Amino acid sequence: MNSKKKYLNKETISWAFYDWANSAFATTVMAGFFPIFFKSFWAGGLSGPESSAWLGTANSISGLIIVCIAPFLGALADIANKKKLFLGLFAFLGIIATGSLFFIAQGMWITAMSIYIFACIGFSGGNVFYDSLIINVSSDENRNRVSALGYSLGYLGGGFLFLLNVAMYQNPEFFGIKSITDAVLFSFLSVSIWWGIFSVPLLKFVREKKENNISIEFSNLFIHSLQRVVSTFKDIRKYRTLSLFLLAYWLYMDGIDTIVRMALAYGADIGLEASDMILALIITQFVGFPATIIYGILGDKFGLKLMLSIGIIGYIFVTIFSIFITQISGFYFLAATIGLFQGGVQSISRTIFSQLIPAEKSAEFFGFYNLVGKSAVVFGPIMVGWVAYTFDNPDFGILSLLLLFIPGLLVLWMVPKIR
């Protein structure tokens, strides 16, 4: 363990810049333009609730695929000591798929949905290895602040590019673009380029610590990886604290990821203008940058469990308040509120988990961590989308998230030994 590693150094900053890189996808594509553009351009022939249901289905399918492969990939990366290699491969998949959205014609909603699924797989799969590398660039003492640095740079970088993309969207002629439609398509292409360029520092400067000296032939890697996955399941069951925390994480993270992926679709269904909702997302990004850093400091001072609980309570408030929104001002208020809590909740969750696992199995355990998080995404978006469709009322879909946040908070407080 690198107990004397300084908080800020070339490796730490290079690692954190991957969040700057791939958060452009989370902001511009996943939370921003794709939900709106999918509903209005690619799936314009479907009803609002139906297109939202299919959008939720696409997010759930990508999550299900990650659920199936994340533990295996984590174990494989630990055995082969190739976390950076696998991160690069998944980032490449996400980058190519995101850039491909530029070429999809109007009305081709099945094609757009399919390519979006591949892009989400690249994004989420890369994060399995990105998260696990935090062990290499931080010590136990500074890990919470390093984790917060990553998320805060993600908000800042994703926010900067999204701000540029919004400017292109609102004034395409200024950028030499023919139409709003072309501006959105160019935005997808810009995310692909941004993601690729800013992934380079991590791949170049972060040194991958060799946690084991196992020598295994390539032909036997698959068998050994499966054996490690089985071993991980057995190991996690031995740790009651870790198991309880993962259950709480599964519940509350389901709700958070669902809000990220479905918020703009919900806003469209209740009649809000796309340009207004996009501005709300910018507010989230730029509130989230300083708030995440401050959240990390407060977590060290007042305790990780307390600050995590406050964040979940914030999301319960957001869920209830959202059904009373009738004007865009209410959506702006919720956007700012989400910015206060989102990065802090994600950062502290990653810190807690990293402190509960053995360092020599970091990718393997983070593979399981991402399995838990992405299996939640399998359930949440499809629940919100189809509940709203079944009752023909988007408010019912949003309120269903209380079935995740409230139990998640209660289970968290059952977790012992978290300061």
Which residues make Cβ contacts (< 8 Å) with residue 67, sequence separation at least 6?
A: 371, 374, 375, 378
- Percent above pLDDT 90 for the chain: 33
pLDDT at 114 over 70: yes
**Is 142 contained in some domain?**
yes
pLDDT at 4 over 50: no
**Is 418 contained in some domain?**
no
Model confidence at 350, in pLDDT bands (50, 70, 90)?
A: confident
* CATH code, 339: 1.20.1250.20
**Is 38 contained in some domain?**
yes
- Residue 219 or residue 70, greater confidence: 70
- Percent above pLDDT 70 for the chain: 85
Please tell me the predicted confidence (pLDDT) of residue 2.
Answer: 45
Compute the residue count for the chain.
419
Mean of pLDDT values over 312-321: 92
Model confidence at 220, in pLDDT bands (50, 70, 90)?
A: low
- Residue 254 or residue 317, greater confidence: 317
Q: For residues 390 and 386, what is the distance between their CA atoms, to the nearest angstrom?
A: 6
Q: For residues 257 and 252, what is the distance between their CA atoms, to the nearest angstrom?
A: 9
pLDDT at 73 over 90: no
Q: For residues 109 and 51, what is the distance between their CA atoms, to the nearest angstrom?
A: 9
Amino acid at 374: K
Q: Residue holding tokens 């089985």?
A: 230
Q: What token pair was written down for 38?
A: 């999918």
Domain count, the chain: 1
Query: What secondary structure letter does DSSP report for 140?
Result: T
Query: What secondary structure letter does DSSP report for 40?
Result: I
Please tell me the predicted confidence (pLDDT) of residue 190.
Answer: 97
**What count of other Cβ atoms lies within 10 Å of the Cβ of residue 297?**
13
Mean of pLDDT values over 304-317: 94
**Is 140 contained in some domain?**
yes
Longest Cα–Cα distance in the chain: 62
Q: For residues 343 and 315, what is the distance between their CA atoms, to the nearest angstrom?
A: 12
pLDDT at 5 over 70: no
Q: For residues 346 and 348, what is the distance between their CA atoms, to the nearest angstrom?
A: 6
Q: For residues 405 and 77, what is the distance between their CA atoms, to the nearest angstrom?
A: 32
- Residue 335 or residue 225, greater confidence: 335
The number of angstroms, rounded, from the C-alpha of 403 to the middle of its chain's C-alpha atoms is 21
Mean pLDDT highest for which of 173-177, 241-245, 298-302, 399-403? 173-177
- Residue 23 or residue 228, greater confidence: 23
Please tell me the predicted confidence (pLDDT) of residue 167.
Answer: 92
Q: Quick one: which of 86, 16, 58, 22 has its CA closest to 262? A: 58
Please tell me the predicted confidence (pLDDT) of residue 356.
Answer: 82
**Is 343 contained in some domain?**
yes
SS3 content of the chain, % helix, strand, coil (to 5): 85, 0, 15
pLDDT in tens, 368-403: 776 676 666 667 777 877 787 788 777 888 888 898
pLDDT in tens, 30-66: 878 898 889 889 988 888 778 878 887 887 788 788 7
Q: What token pair was written down for 348?
A: 């502290």
Q: For residues 211 and 218, what is the distance between their CA atoms, to the nearest angstrom?
A: 18
Q: Quick one: which of 21, 19, 18 has its CA closest to 191? A: 21
**Is 6 contained in some domain?**
no
Task: Note whether 97 and 189 are within 8 A (CB).
Answer: no
pLDDT at 310 over 90: yes
- Residue 68 or residue 100, greater confidence: 100
Q: For residues 145 and 142, what is the distance between their CA atoms, to the nearest angstrom?
A: 6
Task: Note whether 121 and 62 are within 8 A (CB).
Answer: yes
Q: Quick one: which of 418, 376, 404, 19 has its CA closest to 206? A: 19
Helices (H), 25-142: 34-37, 48-80, 83-100, 109-132, 134-137
Q: What token pair was written down for 82?
A: 């190739």
pLDDT at 215 over 60: no
**Is 2 contained in some domain?**
no
Q: What token pair was written down for 223?
A: 């068998």
Model confidence at 103, in pLDDT bands (50, 70, 90)?
A: very high
Q: For residues 8 and 349, what is the distance between their CA atoms, to the nearest angstrom?
A: 21
Please tell me the predicted confidence (pLDDT) of residue 1.
Answer: 40
**Is 4 contained in some domain?**
no
Q: Quick one: which of 125, 379, 349, 148 has its CA closest to 249? A: 349
First to last CA, the chain: 21
pLDDT at 144 over 90: no
Task: Note whether 144 and 307 are within 8 A (CB).
Answer: no
Q: Quick one: which of 171, 79, 74 has its CA closest to 130? A: 74
Mean of pLDDT values over 177-203: 95
Model confidence at 210, in pLDDT bands (50, 70, 90)?
A: low
Mean of pLDDT values over 120-129: 89
Q: How many helices (H) and strands (E) does the chain have?
A: 17, 0
Mean pLDDT highest for which of 35-49, 173-187, 291-305? 173-187
Mean of pLDDT values over 80-101: 92
Mean pLDDT of the chain: 83
Task: Domain of residue 157: give its range.
Answer: 11-208+219-412
Find the range with the poorest average confidence among 154-168, 241-255, 266-280, 318-332.
266-280
Mean of pLDDT values over 58-86: 77
